[in-house]
Amino acid sequence: MVTQRFLALAIVCAFIACAHGKLSYENYGVYRVDITTDEQLALLQQLESLPNGYTFLDFPSNVAASVEVVIPPAEKNNVERLFQKHGIQFSLLTGNLKLVLDKERPARKKLEDGFGWENFHELEEIYAWIDEMVLQYASVLSVETIGQTYEKRDMKVIKLSYKPGNQGIVIDANIHAREWITSASITWVLNELLTSDDPRVRDIAENYDWYIVPVANPDGFKYSHTTDRLWRKTRTPHNLLCYGTDPNRNFGFQWNNGGTSPTPCSDTYAGTAPESEVEVSNLTTFIRSVAANVKLSLSIHSRGQYILLPFGYNNAPRAYNYQDLMQIGRRASVDMYKLYQKPYRVGTTADVMYVASGISVDWAFAVAGIPLSYTFELRDQGEFGFVLPAEQIVPNAQELLEAFVALIDEARNLDYM
Ligand SMILES: [Zn+2]
């Protein structure tokens, strides 16, 4: 009965999305929900995995945690009753998510035709900007297609290299579609690596080869612009109602060992097998091809302000160089804080955020053998979440560049780079 109602609702939602093109989130509520018992956890995990129109902004992976969930207007009363019935503490963060979404992007100015960081850009605009930069900086910058997505979009890696013999640094961003701040920040950082006069920036730009995948999930990213701002996964179809695999649960190390869902509708669905997603296999094939010369790999995500190190899976041991990873991560956090006093917490994914497996940072460390592997979770800590206003792109990206300078400096102190 319950399932039938959910299915009916999902079909209605799917129909609405089709009819109106883009989901407006008008009158959708955003709730913060505290998980205190195993029974509550199981209930929330069940709600998360159904095609019910609910969007969990965090996966309910353990007790003693809180998660945010977006609820359609017609479901608000039902879900509040359900929470009350199960003794779940909740608070309504906003009664109308559309008002938050409206603050994300400034009205397009007539004169602002070129690429910049006053606004978020679509995939085609990012790719066009990269092509322009490659033309302008042809002696040091190149771009390569490392494969195509499920929907046949190109996946691109930018390579910045000032001289032969440099060690490499690998960075991926926006593998989670809704995390727009990540591709916006990394393109700003790339621009700084090319144009900054700061001797610290020139040092790291010119003495390392930078491999940057600015949008590691182009299909999902596109969909987050055209149809559903809060889309997270790839766009692989699984059945009539459920699309997408969580690409950052699909890497081939400790796959499906905690913090994942076996249900295709879930936002943390791990896929049918390790690297079942072509986007992930394209990325790992590329990283393997350069890994022998890479000591630092970074996966850029949002949100929450964390610097995360291996590992994330269930009952994982400490990495062999845990103390070094912590020292280098803490140095980045301290230097980032100096800019705008935004605190970044440092620790393993499992320790400071939640259990998660099949994730890129663990794969890069354990399989690709890259000794310094981190996930960055950029701003913020809850006020805007995944829909950070565009005016925060530059300060956020400045913090990220400061982190890169600090990571490399501390890694040099410890003789990694
Ligand atoms: Zn993410």
CB 118 within 8 A of CB 389: no
Distance 246 CA to ligand 1 centre (A): 9
C-alpha R_g of the chain: 21
pLDDT digits (tens, 9 = 90+) for 226-243: 999 999 999 999 999 999
pLDDT digits (tens, 9 = 90+) for 110-132: 445 678 999 999 999 999 999 99
* Tokens coding 145: 């297609």
| Alpha helix (H) residue ranges in 173-302 | 180-195, 199-207, 218-226, 278-290
Task: Pick the range with the lowest mean pLDDT from 9-18, 45-54, 204-213, 356-365.
Answer: 9-18
108 pLDDT band (50/70/90 cuts)? Answer: low
Distance 37 CA to ligand 1 centre (A): 26
Distance 199 CA to ligand 1 centre (A): 32
Distance 180 CA to ligand 1 centre (A): 10
Asked if pLDDT for residue 20 goes beyond 80, the answer is: no
What does the DSSP assignment read for 80-97?
HHHHHHTT--EEEEES-H
Domain 123-414, CATH among 3.40.630.10, 3.40.640.10, 3.40.630.30, 3.40.190.10? 3.40.630.10
Cα separation, 99 vs 89, in Å, equals 25
Helix (H, G, I), strand (E, B) or coil at 189: helix
Residue linked to tokens 């994330």: 312
Q: Looking at the DSSP assignment, which residues form a beta bridge with residue 65?
A: 35
Output the CA–CA distances (angstroms, integers) from residue 85 to 79, 80, 195, 376, in the order listed: 10, 9, 58, 37
**pLDDT value for 247:** 98
Mean pLDDT on 376-391: 92
Amino acid identity at 125:
E
Distance 377 CA to ligand 1 centre (A): 7
Distance 179 CA to ligand 1 centre (A): 6
Burial class (CB in 10 A: 0-12, 13-18, 19+), 345: middle
Mean pLDDT on 277-283: 98
Return the biggest CA–CA distance within the chain.
Answer: 65
Q: What class is the 2-97 domain? A: alpha beta
| Alpha helix (H) residue ranges in 137-277 | 180-195, 199-207, 218-226
Among 377, 399, 402, 410, the one annotated catalytic: 377
Distance 175 CA to ligand 1 centre (A): 7
List every span in the chain annotated with CATH 3.30.70.340.
2-97
Distance 217 CA to ligand 1 centre (A): 11
Asked if pLDDT for residue 401 goes beyond 90, the answer is: yes
106 pLDDT band (50/70/90 cuts)? Answer: confident
**pLDDT value for 2:** 44
Output the CA–CA distances (angstroms, integers) from residue 109 to 229, 258, 271, in the order listed: 22, 46, 41
**pLDDT value for 198:** 98
Nearest by Cα to 180 from 270, 120, 135: 120
18 pLDDT band (50/70/90 cuts)? Answer: very low
List every span in the chain annotated with CATH 3.40.630.10.
123-414
80 is catalytic: no
**pLDDT value for 385:** 87
Residue 142 CB coordination number (10 Å): 13
Whole-number average pLDDT of the chain: 94
**pLDDT value for 298:** 98
Residue linked to tokens 């663990």: 362
* Tokens coding 190: 């790339």
Distance 153 CA to ligand 1 centre (A): 20
Distance 197 CA to ligand 1 centre (A): 32
* Tokens coding 74: 């017609």
Distance 76 CA to ligand 1 centre (A): 26
Distance 384 CA to ligand 1 centre (A): 15
**pLDDT value for 16:** 43
pLDDT digits (tens, 9 = 90+) for 123-181: 999 999 999 999 999 999 999 999 999 999 999 999 999 999 999 999 999 999 999 99
Q: Which DSSP category does 269 fall into?
A: B
